[in-house]
Every structure is written in structure tokens, then in C-alpha cells.
């Protein structure tokens, strides 16, 4: 896998996101990540001592970076590119690589060795995070559908359309036919 093989966020969308304020994105991601943590209680425990370390998640094809603090609930803050605060580690790559790794579509080691993902700082923190997420077997599309309650079916269809249009992996690969 090379970065040229991975889908990238269309530049038009990335440009459209640029003027948006990062604070509301951070608040929404914090609320979503806390819901995930409640539904998958072992995920944060699996981090052990590394839960105290912040990680920068840098989707290189988007105009912002995310700083995740697992021990804070977890808390995710969004920052403009170039203005991110310090963190123990940074994992960077196209959004498709990051979501694909989360959902089992791409192997994290292969992405790292092909240089599609870059890891800086304390690699033990990133490894602990990856292992915790792998063990939780998260399915972002399923979580969003569950959050939508009676509108879950609408969310499922919207996610399927977004997946086809963007090339992003928004559901676990091991779910039959992308069922949520």
C-alpha cells in the first residue's frame, strides 16, 4: 500500500472545512468519544499508564489536527494545522489510512512501513492506543447509527453513501456486507 493508493479527502472539501472553527468539532468529538468509552468500557483501561499521555491524530488531508487526552474522559480538541499543542506522540496520515486502520481494512504495521502513516514521539503510547482500539473492535458507522436512535436506518444509508463517495472505511470490514 502506498499513499497514492489510498483515497484522500477531496481538496474542495478540505478547503470548505478550513474556515470552520475547530472548537465545535472538538466538542462533538469529545462527546462521541465519551459515548464510545462508555459503550466499550475496557478500551480506556486497556491503555493502562499510557492513558495519561496525549496523542496528536493528524489526518494530513484535512486542515486540522486532533489532540486526544484519554484520561480526561477522553477529551478531543481540534486545532488548526500548525497550531497544535504538544503531545507525547503523533500519528499522521491520510484520513482513509486512519479510519481504515481503525476498522481493520488496513494493517497498521504495513501502513507504517510503507510510510503511509508517520509516528513521532513515544511510539509505546501509539502502540497502546492501537491495541486498545483493536481490542474494542469499534465500528464508527454502527456507533453513529446507535446514537441516532430511531433515525439509525437513515444514518446507515448516509454512511454507506459517504463511504462509496469518499473511499473512507466507516465500518468494520468483518461485518457482512457492511451491515451495521
Least confidently predicted of 107-111, 124-128, 175-179: 175-179
> In the chain, how many H helices and how many E strands?
8, 5
Q: What pTM value is reported for the model?
A: 0.87
**Is the separation of the CB atoms in 154 and 148 below 8 Å?**
yes
Instruction: Give pLDDT, residue 126.
Output: 94
What residues contact 69, with CB distance under 8 A and at least 6 apart?
Answer: 54, 75, 76, 77
Strands 55-59 and 89-93, how do they pair?
A: parallel
For the segment 13-40, the average pLDDT, to the nearest whole number, is 92
Instruction: Give pLDDT, residue 117.
Output: 95
Instruction: Give pLDDT, residue 176.
Output: 43
pLDDT of 102 strictly over 70:
yes
* Band of residue 175 on the pLDDT scale cut at 50, 70, 90: low
Rounded Cα–Cα distance for residues 21 and 81 (Å): 12
pLDDT of 2 strictly over 70:
no
For the segment 90-97, the average pLDDT, to the nearest whole number, is 95
State the virtual CA torsion across 82, 113, 17, 54 in degrees, nearest 10. -50
Amino acid at each position: 500500500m502506498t499513499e497514492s493508493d489510498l483515497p484522500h479527502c477531496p481538496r474542495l472539501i478540505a478547503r470548505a472545512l478550513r474556515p470552520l472553527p475547530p472548537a465545535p468539532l472538538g466538542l462533538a468529538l469529545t462527546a462521541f468519544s465519551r459515548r464510545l468509552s462508555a459503550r466499550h468500557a475496557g478500551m480506556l483501561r486497556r491503555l493502562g499508564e499510557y492513558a495519561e499521555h496525549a496523542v496528536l491524530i493528524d489526518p494530513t488531508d484535512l486542515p486540522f489536527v486532533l489532540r486526544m487526552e484519554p484520561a480526561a474522559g477522553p477529551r478531543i480538541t481540534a486545532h488548526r494545522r500548525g497550531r497544535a499543542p504538544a503531545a507525547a506522540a503523533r500519528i499522521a496520515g491520510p484520513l482513509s489510512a486512519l479510519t481504515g486502520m481503525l476498522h481493520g481494512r488496513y494493517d497498521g504495521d504495513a501502513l507504517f512501513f510503507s510510510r503511509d502513516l508517520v509516528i513521532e514521539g513515544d511510539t509505546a503510547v501509539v502502540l497502546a492506543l492501537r491495541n486498545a482500539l483493536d481490542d474494542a473492535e469499534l465500528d464508527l458507522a454502527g456507533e453513529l447509527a446507535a446514537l441516532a436512535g430511531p433515525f439509525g436506518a437513515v444514518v446507515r444509508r448516509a454512511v454507506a453513501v459517504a463511504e462509496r463517495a469518499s473511499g473512507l472505511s466507516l465500518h468494520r470490514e468483518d461485518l457482512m456486507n457492511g451491515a451495521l
